[in-house]
Structure 1
């Protein structure tokens, strides 16, 4: 479980890596997205940067772990 050490908020902005299905032209250039999230290839973890959605405090995920 995670909580912001500055304000106590339990909502965060983090980056995940996902695959998408695209419609492309004959050159492979993006035209539009058909599916925003086909598969999650990397979920946010303790090594990634987490940002508190309330106060903006930013640190590695492990800094937000509740002990």
Structure 2
């Protein structure tokens, strides 16, 4: 295989790996729910839940 041919194969392989990583990450993001709540004191709580998770209540404590 020529040098340009092997370079092209390397670029195609790298692009393929990159696309697989992006696809897996995109699917992961799409199956998440993000809830942001802000208390009276300005403190913010962020909840990251899966698509099938049931969040019925949130309890916060100040330590």
Could you say which TM-score interval applies, normalised by the shorter chain? Answer: under 0.3
- Name the structure with the higher strand share: 1
The TM-score with structure 2 as length reference comes to 0.21
Higher RCO structure, 1 or 2 (CA under 8 Å, sep 6+): 1
- Name the structure with the higher helix share: 2
Q: Which structure is larger by alpha-carbon Rg, 1 or 2? A: 2
